[in-house]
Amino acid sequence: MKPKQISPGQMLILTFGLTVGTSILVTPSGLAHVAREDAWIASLFSLFINLLLVVLYIILSRMYPGKNLFEINEAVMGKWLGKLLSLLYLFYFLILTGTLLGNLGFFLTSEMMPETPIEAVQIIFLLAAIMCARLGTVILARVSQLMFPWIVVLFLILVLALLPQIEWNHIKPVLEAGPLPPLQAGYHSAMFQELIVLLVFLPMSSGGKKAEAGFLGGTLLGAMFLAIVVVLSILVLGIEQAENATFPTYALAKTINVGNFLQRLEGILITIWICTFFIKISLLYLALLKGLEKVFGLTDTRSLITPMAVLFLLVAWHTYINTVYVADIIQRVWAGYAQLHLLLIPLALAVVGLVRTWVAKRRKGQKALP
């Protein structure tokens, strides 16, 4: 059965949702830590790196048109090695989802509802994601289309309401420690946008070139949102407080005060993050199901939805033990681990793929001669 199609516009929105995800909550402090006042340069560099990665994925996709990530793995590396590679990716996605779930739970319970047990928040969220996984990618694409205007409007409200509180002096001195720290910080932070996930869904998108444009456009839009948030965090909060906050964007939203009238809006603005988070988790969920389907040749993965949800929760409870443990490991290890999946393996696949086609062409050429 030919899978149903998602439009290029929906592809853009899905990419946007994935890029923003939960990164929007925590990137400013991570970048501010290393790059200080130049965190905005770092986030722009991160945007640039992400665009390059997406170009790599598109090249890979064009070499094997119509194939999603897992199929490409098998096509390039052969059946068994390809399946092994796909399993690596699936494990990566699994840990990612668990950590994300933990992140959301911790955010909501430490800032808004401390009496609520984390597990309750996570289970309710997962219920929504389960429903989405059962219904499929197309439904997710349509839901995200519905959510998109709200995300944009609320974000604009956030930005516009903060403009009166900008202190331009906060961003100086520029490049105090030289250009290296922002570049390093930017590259590090680019490893946290898991755009490879969309390579699972790219073939499902109609329009060929337009779908690729949607992929790129979504990345651009999402990374721009992140860059704007980083810039505002520095300009409004100042570097000392942006660096020390556990959830800097939330602290940013708390400072909104227009004419002593429009204040205490942070509760409504959480909607932005809930929506983008939902998109990200549902995409990961669907990607995992698709991956399992491909690797093990299953006919229908719907039965696996519930056990997967339980697995997500277990991973979440065992990774997000407390914010310090997670922050420490993620700071030290995750970038390298993610780099493997986001850059090194796709690059290797592209190179091997190119070599294979080149060899095949030469063989064809030789065969055609006599």
Partner 1 sequence: MKGYAWLMVILCASLAILPGCWSKKELNELAVVMALGVDLQEGGGYVVSAQVMNPSEVGSQQSGLSGNSPAVTYSAVGKTIPDALQRMLNVTPRMLYLSHMRVLVFGEEMARQGISDVLDFISRNHELRTDFYLMVAKGMDAAEILQVVTPFEHIPSSSLYSSILISNKEWAAMGKITLQQFITELDQSGSNPIMSGVELHGDPKTGNNLENVKKIKPDTMLENAGLAVFVKDRLVGWVGEAGSKATNYVLNEVEMTSGYVPCPGGGIIGVEITSARSKLEVHLDKEERPQFIVRLKTEANLDAAQCSVDLSKVESIDQISRNLEHKLTSLLEEGIHEVQRKYGADIFGFGEALHRKYPKVWEKYRERWEDSFRSMEVRVYADAEIRRIGSIVQPARREMERR
Partner 2 sequence: MIWRLVLLLLVVVAGAVQIPFLLKARSMRDLVMFCIFLGITLAWLFNDLVEGPNLRPLDWIRFAMEPLKMLNPK
Binding site for partner 1 (CB under 8 A): 110-117, 120, 169, 172-173, 176, 237-238, 240-241, 244, 251, 254-255, 257, 263-264
Rank residues 46 and 122 by Cβ distance to partner 1 and give the closer one.
122
3-state SS assignment for residue 107: helix
111, interface contact from partner 1, partner 2, none, CB < 5-8 Å by kind? partner 1
CA distance 68 to 269: 35
Q: Quick check: 48 binds partner 2 (CB under 8 A)?
A: no
Answer whether 99's CB lies under 8 Å from 122's CB: no
For residue 110, how far is the Cα from the chain centroid? Answer: 23
List the one residue from 150, 306, 357, 358 that touches partner 2 (CB under 8 A): 306
CA distance 206 to 212: 10
- Residue 222: both structure tokens together: 């999402």
Q: Cα-Cα-Cα-Cα dihedral of 267, 271, 273, 278, to 10°? A: 140
136, interface contact from partner 2, partner 1, none, CB < 5-8 Å by kind? none
Which long-range contacts (C-beta less than 8 Å, at least 24 apart) are formed by 72-78?
Answer: 72/199, 72/349, 72/353, 73/349, 74/294, 75/353, 76/349, 76/352, 76/353, 76/356, 77/349, 77/352
314, interface contact from partner 2, partner 1, none, CB < 5-8 Å by kind? partner 2
254, interface contact from partner 1, partner 2, none, CB < 5-8 Å by kind? partner 1
Answer whether 196's CB lies under 8 Å from 346's CB: yes
**If binding means CB under 8 A, how many residues of this protein chain bind partner 2?**
44
Answer whether 125's CB lies under 8 Å from 270's CB: no
- Return the range that interacts with partner 2 (CB under 8 A); candidates 61-69, 159-167, 307-315, 347-355: 307-315
- Return the range that interacts with partner 2 (CB under 8 A); candidates 3-11, 51-59, 241-249, 332-340: 332-340
List the one residue from 51, 75, 123, 224 that touches partner 2 (CB under 8 A): 123
Classify the C-alpha dihedral 23-26-27-28 as positive or negative. Answer: positive
Q: Quick check: 321 binds partner 2 (CB under 8 A)?
A: yes
The 261-300 contact track toward partner 2, x by CB under 8 A, reads -------------------------------x---xxxxx
| DSSP states of 181-229 | HHHHHHHHHHTTS-GGGGGGTGGGBTTTHHHHHHHHHHHHHHHHHHHHH
Phi, psi at 246, each rounded to 5°: -75, -40
Residues 335-364 that bind partner 2 (CB under 8 A): 335-337, 339-340, 344
Rank residues 41 and 286 by Cβ distance to partner 1 and give the closer one.
41
State the residue for tokens 């444009």. Answer: 213
323, interface contact from partner 1, partner 2, none, CB < 5-8 Å by kind? none
Q: Please, what is the minimum distance in Å from the beta carbon of residue 321 to partner 1?
A: 20
CA distance 49 to 35: 17
Q: Quick check: 128 binds partner 2 (CB under 8 A)?
A: no
Q: Quick check: 113 binds partner 2 (CB under 8 A)?
A: no
1, interface contact from partner 1, partner 2, none, CB < 5-8 Å by kind? none
List b or e across 259-287, with b for residues whose CB sees 16 or more CB atoms inside 10 angstroms. Answer: eeeeeebbeebbebbebbbbbbbbbbbbb
The 175-204 contact track toward partner 2, x by CB under 8 A, reads ---------x--xx--x-------------
Q: Please, what is the minimum distance in Å from the beta carbon of residue 57 to partner 2?
A: 19
Phi, psi at 257, each rounded to 5°: -155, 95
Judged by the rule CB under 8 A, the positions of this chain that interact with partner 2 are 95, 98-99, 117, 119, 123, 184, 187-188, 191, 292, 296-301, 303-304, 306-308, 310-311, 313-315, 317-319, 321, 325-326, 329-330, 332-337, 339-340, 344
